[in-house]
């Protein structure tokens, strides 16, 4: 089994050999490592993307807006991902962003996952009835696992989700009340034995 370090290094070098700058190739390496870590077919899709990149001549989107439409060809997922990372603080203010026609949408997922960590919000990624929830670059949940990823996404929506508790105030109050049974009433002896409360200065 290949290590994550091998996966990252080889993906980076292959991307550089395919014509990307070392900076972008480095980002690709990190993202393919993430996909494989999360059990998603990063190597397979990167191979297919690199094989078709020059033939398809994918479109580059430099400045991302709330609604983005490709003129004719499909958007390049690598350049789109790098620019999304760079602009994520601005994009967060849109709350939701739409795209038409993205090639190899799986390659955009790790860029969105890393973006989720940067803004401290979960991000939902939906394309052609497939859903992904990106959780602060810690994990990815989806209804799409173990399916064959499509090479194109015709309609894409990305949403920044506000952070909310998954539990009610009532449930929290009940649990907190129970936790109070562990609180110890402070006494003079506890104060003297607490850290930093000694009478001698050892510095």
Structure-block tokens of residue 31? 């993202």
Closest CA to 31 of 119, 149, 150, 137: 137
pLDDT at 71: 81
Contact between residue 134 and residue 117 where contact means Cβ atoms under 8 Å apart:
no
User: Virtual CA dihedral for 89, 93, 96, 97, nearest 10 degrees?
Assistant: -60
pLDDT at 142: 87
Specify if 175 maps to a domain: no
Give mean pLDDT in consecutive 10-residue pieces for the chain, a chain of 203 residues.
97 97 97 95 96 91 95 92 97 96 96 97 93 94 79 96 94 94 71 56 53
> How far is the C-alpha of 53 from the C-alpha of 114, rounded, in Å?
24
Contact between residue 120 and residue 163 where contact means Cβ atoms under 8 Å apart:
yes
Specify if 108 maps to a domain: yes
Structure-block tokens of residue 88? 């994520």
Instruction: Give kind and range of the element (H or E) at residue 11.
Output: helix 4-17
| DSSP code, position 43 | H
pLDDT at 195: 56
Specify if 15 maps to a domain: yes
What is the residue range of 14's domain? 4-161
pLDDT at 190: 54
Q: How far is CA 135 from the centre of its chain?
A: 7
Specify if 126 maps to a domain: yes
Q: What are phi and psi of 22, to 5 degrees?
A: -60, -35
User: Virtual CA dihedral for 188, 189, 194, 197, nearest 10 degrees?
Assistant: 70
Helix ranges (H only) for 120-160 are none
Specify if 151 maps to a domain: yes
Q: How many domains does the chain have?
A: 1
């Amino acid at each position: 089994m290949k290590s994550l370090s091998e996966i990252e290094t080889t993906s980076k070098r292959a991307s550089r050999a395919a014509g990307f700058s070392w900076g972008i190739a480095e980002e690709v390496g990190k993202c393919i490592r993430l996909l494989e870590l999360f059990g998603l077919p990063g190597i397979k899709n990167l191979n297919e993307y690199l094989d078709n990149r020059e033939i398809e001549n994918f479109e580059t989107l430099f400045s991302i807006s709330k609604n983005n439409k490709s003129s004719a060809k499909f958007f390049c997922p690598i350049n789109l991902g790098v620019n999304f990372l760079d602009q994520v603080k601005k994009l967060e203010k849109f709350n939701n962003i739409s795209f038409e026609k993205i090639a190899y949408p799986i390659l955009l997922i790790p860029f969105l996952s890393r973006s989720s960590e940067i803004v401290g919000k979960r991000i939902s990624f939906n394309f052609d009835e497939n859903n992904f929830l990106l959780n602060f670059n810690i994990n990815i949940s989806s209804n799409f696992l173990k399916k064959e990823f499509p090479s194109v996404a015709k309609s894409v929506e990305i949403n920044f989700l506000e952070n909310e508790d998954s539990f009610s105030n009532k449930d929290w109050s009940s649990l907190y009340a129970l936790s109070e049974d562990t609180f110890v009433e402070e006494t003079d002896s506890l104060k003297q034995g607490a850290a930093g409360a000694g009478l001698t200065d050892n510095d």
